[in-house]
Amino acid sequence: MSASLPIATNRYFDSHFQRPGVKLLPNEFFTTNDDMVLVTVLGSCVAACIQDRTAGIGGMNHFMLPDDGADANNTLPAASDAMRYGAYAMEVLINELIKAGGRRERFEAKVFGGAAVLAGMTTMNIGDRNAAFVRRYLATESIRIVAEDLQGSHPRKVAFLPRTGQVMVKKLRLQEASVAEREQQLARQTPEARAERLARARARVELFGLGSAAPGVGKAGTGAGSSAANATSNAFASSAPQPARSRIELFGAGSSAALRPSGQDNARTVEEA
């Protein structure tokens, strides 16, 4: 991966998944063929998780805004700034997977986020636009969406295992206002301010699922603290259903060590009351 691209660098050991992890901040991406977990927190932002199952490689991005072409001819100051836009974020992720040995015709995508968490939206909110964009982009690129959890009103924490393609989603409480506040602030920040924030964030380490919780359920945090999960099974209906898509199941059901082997891809979720 090119050093000039906004590659996530916040590495840690994830005690919940018992493997190395990378925490993706907004406007970042990461690809790997290692046995590790990629984690991010989403409000109105969207994360696409793309995998080539045969090559055993996958990656995740995290973008803030759809790209309707209005900025296509503008010169953006840096790749990290351009990553705010869905078209650039998707192009970077796909290209880096291909460079690492992935084949476009084998790619499968799982997409998450696009919640209505930003206040003051009187027409179509940014989460809906992001969700519509990622579906449209992947359809145009002929990359099949095999699982999704988009839109709604809850922020989400997403954990993706690129080697197997397994994804787990944790719905965060509506009271977790820091997600919406963070996205509003990021949208207004200059590239210089964003670079300074990223440097500060990379100096911290956040563990996903650290500490005790209800049996079989990990804790989820947004950086400001953790909230215990009251797990209930929930199936999410896509606004553009595709029959071949995986179920979205309960996150944390049973032992955290009972991760599915490669070839048994699914997405899991827990919703907090």
Per run of 10 residues, the mean pLDDT along the chain (length 273 residues) is: 79 96 96 97 96 96 78 51 86 96 97 83 76 96 96 93 94 63 59 57 44 36 35 36 46 45 50 36
The pair phi, psi for residue 106, each rounded to 5°, is -100, -5
Q: In the structure encoding, which two tokens stand for residue 11, read together?
A: 């590495």
Contact in structure between 137 and 90 (CB atoms under 8 Å)? yes
Helix H or strand E segment including 112 = strand 107-113
- How many angstroms separate the CA atoms of 137 and 142, rounded? 9
Query: What are the distances in angstroms from CA 23 to CA 85, 145, 206, 256?
Result: 19, 23, 8, 19
Q: DSSP letters of 11-52?
A: EEEETTTTEEEEEPPTT-EEEESSS-EEEEEESS-EEEEEEE
What is the predicted pLDDT for the residue at 125?
83
156, β-bridge pairs: 42, 171
For residue 190, the model assigns a pLDDT of: 57
Q: How many residues does the chain have?
A: 273
The answer to whether residues 50 and 59 touch, using CB atoms and an 8 Å cutoff, is yes
Sorted by where each starts, the structural domains of the chain and their CATH numbers stand as 10-270 (3.30.1330.200)
pLDDT, position 208: 42
How much is the pTM? 0.66
Query: If 0-12 CB within 10 Å is exposed, 13-18 middle and 19+ buried, where does residue 187 land?
Result: middle
State how far the Cα of 65 lies from the Cα of 154, in Å rounded to an integer: 18
Do residues 172 and 41 touch, judged by C-beta distance below 8 A?
A: yes
pLDDT of res. 4: 80
Which of 159, 182, 156 lies closest to 236, judged by CA?
156
Exposure string of 80-106, with b = 16+ CB inside 10 Å and e = fewer, is: bbbbbbbbbbbbbbbebbeebebeeee
